[in-house]
Structure 1
Amino acid sequence: MTTITTEGVYPAQRARFWRDAISAAFVELDCRIADPSPFRGSLKQNRVGPLSYTHVEAGGQSVSRPATRHVRHDEYILVSIGTTGHGILRQDCREARLEVGGFAVYDTARPYELHFDAPFSQAVIQIPRLLLKERLGMTEHVTATFLEGRDPLVQLTRDYLLALGRFADHDTAFETDRIAQQAVDLLAMALQSRQPADAMSTAPRATRLFRIKQLTESHLRDGEFGLAGLSARLHVSGRYINDLFSDEGTSFGRYLLARRLERCAEDLRAPGMRHRTINDVAFSWGFNNFSHFSATFRQHFGTSARAYRADHVAS
């Protein structure tokens, strides 16, 4: 974990010190502090797989990412979760009030502004743009929009993202990567729920396919979930869904089966799952028939589930 604080920094140097600190933690930023003398600021940052979690406590300030700043190849989506105080976020001609109980997102690839007129604290989750883009397609329509915690899905997402701060840099790569992927899955679902009902009919094919995959991912454990239910939920035909998957040379049924098998394989490889039976793992990921699971697992991975687990335990 990285910890940076203005404690011990001379008052005349605090504004520049803090600007350099937040630029190093996130992206290159401008920062204006009305009176550096009483200003205090600290941040604690740790990595969780491909994500970073930063807890910020500071006095009033205005932060901006101007259009003149260099855009790097590794730009991020940032999620601000207020824990005390409040602020204002502006991006893409929208303005969102940052309050305790919800969160808002913004994109470091484009200009934005943050303004806090009094002391505040917040958690900032930094996500590589590609991870969210591959789940949502374009992200411009969700920036500078405050998602309120009164929505159960938003509250679940907020709590999960805040919990990322409990993980240390030394936790196992397998566990942290999986936790990070699930965090991005939840965030994508929460943001997707804000889209208009007709979004499926107006989005590009690739974006529609990503949304279908995201919805499928959230129902992998449901053994009753299939093409008919997905079709009814999205108000499109099963033929249309399969046509989208044909762009990748597969069908919805084959994709669903492959994802369930891959999730089972992840559990069979995980040291923390060794106490669970193979039958239990299979049924927890939506399989209703163990013989069918065994046959399809062998066909997909070229070995039995039992041998697969034994090979990975040995390695």
Structure 2
Amino acid sequence: MSSTFKQCTYDTAPCHRSEKFAFWRESVCDAYVHLGCETLSQKDFWGRIELTRHDLVDISFVSGSKHKVLRRTQDIGRSYDSDFLVSIQLNKRSVIEQHGRSAPLSPFDFALYSSTDPYSIDLEEDFKQLVIKLPKKALLSRLPDANMLTAIPVVGASELGGLVANTALSISSLINTQTSDCKVLLQETLIDLIATSLAPLRGSRVELSQPEQQLLIRAKSYILAHLQDAQLNRESISSNLGLSVRRLSEVFAKNGETICSFVKESRMQRIASDLTDERFARAGVSEIALKWGMNNLQHFSRSFRDQFGCTPRDYRKDATLFKH
């Protein structure tokens, strides 16, 4: 599996004073999506974007003067992309608004927003953010109701919020120096963590205590990072978390789940994603299933049909026809 990346920097510093804000408007459109930009004063405006485009996600650091960006209906009509963005506040404050919701962000807080619906972001003077852009289908395959969770802040001071923000920073600093396979896995891990951090916003089916919520997050993060291990089971998961199988099963049960069902459903989602990914168009269904730890192909076929209502081959065929 190969992985590529492209780095670019947009900086108003070399621009003439009268051209800085116009250059900035063009820069944010090129780096992210078509946007409008507003500022009370263009005098002494400055901005900088350090962007790295990867196969699955774009990761960027953006900083600058006080201004507002708006994703308007006319901007959406000019774009064919369907993405989610996550802004992690690193310095000062901002406010993201979408679907009538408002997400005020302090340092290390973050929020999700969608490129296919209008939004606005108010940014304070000398702000800095880490922005992650990812295809909608990548997050929706893990969290089907992600569209309902935009402009809801995840607090960086919480254990989960801090875990995601710090991990995103760590991944952004080391990903470019890794092997191709490792880069892809790091991107997948980042998307997994974003999905995990947003899931509690929709509310658990059964109320869990804070320690139990953290334990469930740890367990699911471990499972999602080891789905390709064919030996992944309740015993290995519990052992690596330093828990008994009984205790971990109780936590999953309180959330209306089982360990085995979460592992199976997560694998099916990854397989379904690969079946519709053009990078794996030449890979056979069995090859993809084996890659994600499904050694019993007969059991895999039944599980896939149970989850998606069709065979893996029909799922791939329908997706291909839909694209064309």
TM-score category, normalised to shorter length? 0.5 to 0.7
> What's the counterpart of residue 134 of structure 2?
127
* SS class of match (2:33): coil
* SS class of match (1:222): helix
> What's the counterpart of residue 115 of structure 1?
122
Aligned match for 1:232, one of 234, 246, 253: 253
Aligned match for 2:103, one of 91, 96, 99: 96
> What's the counterpart of residue 198 of structure 1?
205
Q: Deviations over 1:169-198 (max 9, x none)?
A: 564321111000011111111100222223
Tell whether 2:152 aligns with 1:136.
no
For 1:74 and 1:173, locate their aligned partners in 2 and report how far apart those are by CA, in whole Å: 25
Look at both structures and tell me which one has the larger radius of gyration over its CA atoms. Answer: 1
Tell whether 2:66 aligns with 1:60.
yes
Following superposition, the deviation at residue 167 of structure 1 comes to 3.5
Where do 5+ consecutive residues of structure 2 fail to align?
A: 1-6, 207-219, 227-231, 240-244, 269-286, 300-324
Aligned runs of 1:126-205 on 2, under 5 Å? 126-167=133-174, 169=176, 171-198=178-205
Task: Check whether the contact 1:92–1:140 (CA below 8 A) recurs between aligned residues.
Answer: no
Following superposition, the deviation at residue 101 of structure 1 comes to 2.2
> What's the counterpart of residue 214 of structure 2?
none
Task: Check whether the contact 2:222–2:237 (CA below 8 A) recurs between aligned residues.
Answer: no
For 1:184 and 1:3, locate their aligned partners in 2 and report how far apart those are by CA, in whole Å: 24
Q: Deviations over 1:294-313 (max 9, x none)?
A: xx59999xxxxxxxxxxxxx
For 1:238 and 1:178, locate their aligned partners in 2 and report how far apart those are by CA, in whole Å: 22
Which letter maps to 1:155? G
Aligned match for 2:237, one of 222, 226, 229: 222
For 1:169 and 1:150, locate their aligned partners in 2 and report how far apart those are by CA, in whole Å: 28
For 2:168 and 2:111, locate their aligned partners in 1 and report how far apart those are by CA, in whole Å: 12
Task: Check whether the contact 1:89–1:115 (CA below 8 A) recurs between aligned residues.
Answer: yes
Following superposition, the deviation at residue 68 of structure 1 comes to 1.9
> What's the counterpart of residue 8 of structure 1?
14
Aligned runs of 1:298-309 on 2, under 5 Å? none
> What's the counterpart of residue 252 of structure 1?
none
Q: Deviations over 1:121-140 (max 9, x none)?
A: 11101111111011010223
The percentage of aligned residue pairs carrying the same residue is 23
Aligned CA distance change for structure 1 residues 298 and 132 (closer, same or farther; 3 Å)? closer
The alignment covers a number of residue pairs equal to 246
Following superposition, the deviation at residue 141 of structure 1 comes to 2.2
Q: TM-score, normalised by structure 1?
A: 0.67
For 1:118 and 1:231, locate their aligned partners in 2 and report how far apart those are by CA, in whole Å: 44
> What's the counterpart of residue 36 of structure 1?
42
For 1:260 and 1:216, locate their aligned partners in 2 and report how far apart those are by CA, in whole Å: 17
* SS class of match (2:237): coil
Task: Check whether the contact 2:12–2:47 (CA below 8 A) recurs between aligned residues.
Answer: yes
> What's the counterpart of residue 310 of structure 2?
none
Aligned match for 1:50, one of 43, 53, 56: 56
Aligned CA distance change for structure 1 residues 23 and 130 (closer, same or farther; 3 Å)? same
Task: Check whether the contact 2:12–2:46 (CA below 8 A) recurs between aligned residues.
Answer: yes
For 1:179 and 1:122, locate their aligned partners in 2 and report how far apart those are by CA, in whole Å: 20
* SS class of match (1:70): helix
Aligned CA distance change for structure 1 residues 218 and 53 (closer, same or farther; 3 Å)? closer
For 1:95 and 1:28, locate their aligned partners in 2 and report how far apart those are by CA, in whole Å: 21
Q: TM-score, normalised by structure 2?
A: 0.65
RMSD: 3.7
Deviates more, 1:43-52 or 1:17-26: 43-52
> What's the counterpart of residue 204 of structure 1?
none
Task: Check whether the contact 1:77–1:108 (CA below 8 A) recurs between aligned residues.
Answer: yes
For 1:153 and 1:297, locate their aligned partners in 2 and report how far apart those are by CA, in whole Å: 35
* SS class of match (1:69): helix
For 2:259 and 2:297, locate their aligned partners in 1 and report how far apart those are by CA, in whole Å: 28
